[in-house]
Structure 1
Amino acid sequence: MAVRIPYATKDGFLAVRTWLRAAHAEVERIEVTDSSMTVRARLHGTGPLPGTATVRLRRRGGDGVLRTVEPRAGSDDRGFSFTVDYGELAAGNGTGSHVWDLAVQLSSRPEVSEVSEVPAVRIGRLLDDLADRKEIFVYPAATVGDVVVRPYYTVDNDLSVEVAPAG
């Protein structure tokens, strides 16, 4: 999947933002509550959502902490949705801030046990006319215990969730 978005830079020059991905999961909608977020997305550049697919939330850093969520199939074979419980991301946060990156694991082969054998498809938003949505699409934060949880788009327009100490 190739995406090209022309835009004007802050100093008035014309630039083109590009992405080239084998597959992509395009966010269609995010519903945020005080305790969770529900994401509706659609696959592009790959086959239908297999019955064994999982949504992966991988904490950035060297610790490799991973959470998984089962997606719910949409009305067709490419649409899906999932809900992330903020309490699960906040549990065991320790000190400092952490970021969780979201992807969908599409393995439909039961013999594949290693996550690294099948590339995960990043979940994000690329298919419109915005080159950078990090400062434009701002979602409300929720306080869970002693941390604040907030979904956001990265500089690459991928969906992530930040967990930071409250206050």
Structure 2
Amino acid sequence: MHAEVERIQAANQSMTVTARLHGRSIRQGATVRLRLRGTSTARTLEPEVQDDRRSFSFTIGSSELVDIARDSGVWDVFVQAEENAPLTRIGRLLDDVADRKEIFVYPSITLGATDVRPYYTVDNDLSLEVTRQD
């Protein structure tokens, strides 16, 4: 089972990710979880689920971005298909690009002195890099 990113749209004060869950349906109680790498700090978002119960999207708006921008570091992105289900990394695997980290480059969203940039890890998982410009 995995969640495949189809599109990332970064705007001035928000970012919307559209994805599709493979191997399972999304049920009531589903969440998207952002977890600060190396800590137990997490933020939870509610996905917008499409009629096929596999496609979903979520928007990280300015209030969530300000919240995560307080903690510099890398935030890993997961989906939980239903309440109490295991977390599944959201990433990109189903194309012919082996290493997306240097190929799929997205713009940063700037909040004051902090930049938030979506990127793919060396394992092709979606993460958010939060960097302070101090």
Question: What TM-score results when the alignment is normalised by the length of structure 2?
Answer: 0.91
- Residue in structure 2 matched with residue 126 of structure 1 by the alignment: 93
Whether 1:143 aligns to 2:101 is no
The gaps in structure 2 that reach 5 residues or longer are none
Q: Report the 3-state secondary structure (helix = DSSP H, G, I; strand = E; otherwise coil) of the residue aligned with 2:58.
A: strand
Q: Give how far 1:88 is off.
A: 2.3
* Letter paired with 2:22: H
SS for the counterpart of 1:161 is strand
Match of 2:98, SS?
coil
Bigger relative CO (Cα 8 Å, ≥ 6 apart)? 2
Aligned length: 134
1:66-77 alignment runs, 5 A limit: 66-77=42-53
1:87/1:144 contact within 8 Å kept: no
Root-mean-square deviation (Å): 1.7
Q: 1:106 deviation in Å?
A: 1.8
Q: What one-letter code is carried by the residue in structure 1 that aligns with 2:95?
A: D
Match of 1:59 among 10, 23, 36: 36
Q: Contact 1:89–1:163 (CA<8 Å) still a contact in 2?
A: no
1:94 and 1:70 map into 2 onto residues whose CA distance is 21
Q: Secondary structure at the match of 1:137?
A: coil
Relative distance call for 1:161 and 1:139 in structure 2 (3 A) is: same
For residues 79 and 92 of structure 1, what CA distance do their matches in structure 2 show?
25
**Letter of the 2:110 counterpart:** T
**C-alpha deviations, 1:100-137, integer Å up to 9, x for none?**
100001234xxx4xxxxx32111000011111100000
Q: CA deviation at 1:94?
A: 4.9
Q: Detail structure 1 runs of 4+ shifted over 6 Å in the superposition.
A: none
Alignment match, 1:153: 120
**Distance (whole Å) between structure 2 residues aligned to residue 134 and residue 162 of structure 1:** 12
Q: Percent identity?
A: 57
The residue number in structure 2 matching 1:18 is none
Give me the whole-angstrom Cα distance separating, in 1, the residues matched to 2:73 and 2:93.
24
Structure 1: stretches of 5+ with no match in the other structure: 1-22, 113-117
How far 1:45 moved relative to its partner?
1.6
Contact kept? 1:90, 1:149, Cα under 8 Å: no
Alpha-carbon distance between aligned partners in 2 of 1:90 and 1:129, rounded to the nearest angstrom: 35
